[in-house]
C-alpha cells in the first residue's frame, strides 16, 4: 500500500503517536490502516486497499477481554450484574472518545473531504471507533501483552474516576426507575432522524415521558442514541 502520509496532508506523522503511547510498530501500514476512515477509502481506492473497520472489530474484542479479566480479578466480591455495569462504563463510546481525545487521535485520521468539512476529527463516535482500531492494530503487530499494557495505561486507569462520578450506572435503567417511582410513567424512545450513509449513520433519538419530549441524544446506533438521551435527561432533571 502506498504510504498514506503522502495521500493526506492534514494527517500528522504517526511517529509522534508511537512515541506518545510508547509502542513502536513493526508494520507501519497496519498502524496507518487503523486511522483510515471508510470515507477516505471511497475517495482513494486506487491507493488505499482497506479501512479501519475490521481492526475496530478486533480491537473491541481485545478491549472487552482485557477489561473483563481486570474487573474479575480486581473485584472478587462483586456479582455479574455489577461487573457488567463497570465494564460497560469502561468500554462505552463516550469514555473511549474521551481517551481518544486525550491521545489526540483525531489529528491522525485519514478522512474524505466531506467528512473533514463536517468536523469528522472531533466526532465522538469516530474517535471511539478509531481507538478500538488502534487497539486491534497493536494486538496484531505487537501481541496481546503490549495491547494489554496499552489498555491498562490509557483506559482502565480511569475506573476510579468512573466510580466516583457514578458513571457505571446505566442511564436508561436509572431514568426508568426514577420516572416510574416519582411519576408513575415508563419512559419511551423514538428515532427523530437518521443521517449519513449506511456504513456511517448517526441516529438522533428523543426520550419521552408520556407524549412530552424531554431530551434528545445522538449515537452511531439507536441503542447508543437512547443512552445519550437518557444521560441528557438525567442531567436536565437533576436526577444524577
3-state SS record for the chain: CCCHHHCCCCCCCCHHHHHHHCCCCCCHHHHHHCCECHHHHHHCCCCCCCCCHHHHHHHHHHHHHHHHHHHHHHCCCCCHHHHHHHHHHHHCHHHHHHHHHHCCHHHHCECCHHHHHCCHHHCHHHHHHHHHHHHHHHHHHHCHHHHHHHHHHHCHHHHHHHHHHCCCCCHHHHHHHHHHHHHCCCCEEEEEEEECCHHHCEEEEEEEECCEEEEEEEECCHHHHHHHHHHHHHHHHCCC
C-beta neighbour count of 188 within 10 angstroms? 12
What's residue 167's pLDDT? 67
Look up residue 18 and give its three cell numbers.
508511537
- The active-site residue, picked from 53, 60, 141, 226, is 60
What's residue 188's pLDDT? 94
Same domain, 132 and 85: yes
Q: Which domain holds residue 219?
A: 171-237
Look up residue 31 and give its three cell numbers.
498502524
Of 164, 181, 198, which marks where a domain is finished? 164
Same domain, 80 and 125: yes
Same domain, 185 and 153: no
Q: Is residue 208 part of a domain?
A: yes
Cα 150 to Cα 207: distance, rounded to the nearest angstrom: 36
Same domain, 128 and 17: yes
132 is catalytic: yes
Same domain, 185 and 113: no
Of 132, 148, 164, which marks where a domain is finished? 164
Q: Is residue 140 part of a domain?
A: yes
What's residue 6's pLDDT? 40
Cα 39 to Cα 148: distance, rounded to the nearest angstrom: 30
What's residue 184's pLDDT? 92
Same domain, 35 and 77: yes
Same domain, 84 and 149: yes
Look up residue 38 and give its three cell numbers.
471508510
pLDDT tens across the length of the chain (240 residues): 444 544 444 345 899 999 999 999 999 999 999 999 999 887 887 777 899 999 999 999 999 999 999 999 999 999 998 898 899 889 988 899 999 999 999 999 999 999 999 998 999 999 999 999 999 999 999 999 999 999 999 999 999 888 877 666 677 888 888 988 888 999 999 999 999 887 778 999 999 999 999 999 998 889 889 988 998 888 877 776
- The active-site residue, picked from 53, 115, 132, 228, is 132
- Domain total for the chain? 2
141 is catalytic: no
First-to-final CA distance of the chain = 49
Same domain, 80 and 149: yes
Name the strands in the sheet holding 188-195, side by side, starting at the edge strand that comes first in the sequence: 188-195, 202-209, 212-219
Of 164, 199, 215, which marks where a domain is finished? 164
pTM: 0.72
Amino acid at each position: 500500500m502506498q504510504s498514506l502520509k503522502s495521500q493526506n496532508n492534514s494527517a500528522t506523522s504517526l511517529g509522534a503517536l508511537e512515541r506518545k503511547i510508547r509502542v513502536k510498530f513493526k508494520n507501519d501500514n497496519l498502524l496507518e490502516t487503523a486511522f483510515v476512515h471508510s470515507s477516505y477509502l471511497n475517495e482513494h481506492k486506487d491507493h488505499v486497499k482497506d479501512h479501519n473497520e475490521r481492526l475496530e472489530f478486533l480491537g473491541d474484542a481485545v478491549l472487552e477481554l482485557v477489561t473483563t479479566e481486570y474487573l474479575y480479578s480486581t473485584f472478587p466480591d462483586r456479582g455479574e450484574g455489577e461487573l457488567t455495569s463497570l465494564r460497560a462504563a469502561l468500554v462505552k463510546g463516550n469514555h473511549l472518545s474521551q481517551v481518544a481525545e486525550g491521545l489526540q487521535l483525531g489529528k491522525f485520521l485519514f478522512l474524505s473531504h466531506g467528512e473533514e468539512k463536517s468536523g469528522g476529527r472531533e466526532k465522538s463516535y469516530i474517535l471511539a471507533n478509531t481507538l478500538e482500531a488502534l487497539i486491534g492494530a497493536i494486538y496484531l503487530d505487537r501481541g496481546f501483552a503490549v495491547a494489554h499494557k496499552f489498555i491498562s495505561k490509557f483506559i482502565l486507569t480511569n475506573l476510579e474516576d468512573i466510580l466516583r462520578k457514578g458513571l457505571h450506572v446505566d442511564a436508561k435503567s436509572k431514568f426508568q426507575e426514577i420516572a416510574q417511582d416519582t411519576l408513575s410513567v415508563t419512559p419511551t424512545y423514538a428515532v427523530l432522524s437518521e443521517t449519513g450513509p449506511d456504513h456511517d449513520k448517526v441516529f438522533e433519538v428523543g426520550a419521552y415521558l408520556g407524549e412530552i419530549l424531554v431530551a434528545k441524544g445522538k449515537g452511531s446506533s439507536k441503542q447508543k442514541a437512547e443512552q445519550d438521551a437518557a444521560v441528557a435527561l438525567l442531567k436536565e432533571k437533576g436526577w444524577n
